Structure 1
Amino acid sequence: MTDDPQVPVVCPECGTETDVALSALAETLERHNENRHGGEECAQVDPDLAAELQDLVAEDMGLLD
């Protein structure tokens, strides 16, 4: 068992959703998009999670004050 957090990934083009280890995220997204979509960036981190993380980082940096 690993302590590597899992990140939700979605591909609206394929209609797929999966969880990917954080340490393999970039490679997995690149491989999927290259193999399935000719390099077009279709698969991505779940947009809801990405937005939440952006808000947390902005708040932490004091950008929302």
Structure 2
Amino acid sequence: MKQTKWFDRSFNFDNQQNIFPSILERLSGTPIRLEEKVKDVTENILIFSDDNTWSIKENIGHLIDLETL
């Protein structure tokens, strides 16, 4: 499956079910959920990168970088 580049994506916010507020609420809770999920994970696991992929820490850092977007 071909992955669409992030900045090439388009989003439709005119959903008739009006789920946009729920999405915003869920996103606002992301930091605490991430903290809970990785609190017992060792540093070696958090920084592990297999076959030139991003580590867990790099993925979390990327989310932080994109927060203002």
User: TM-score if structure 1 supplies the norm length?
Assistant: 0.25
More helix by share: 2
**Larger RCO, structure (CA 8 Å, separation 6 or more):** 1
More strand by share: 1
User: TM-score if structure 2 supplies the norm length?
Assistant: 0.24
**Which one has a bigger Cα radius of gyration?**
2
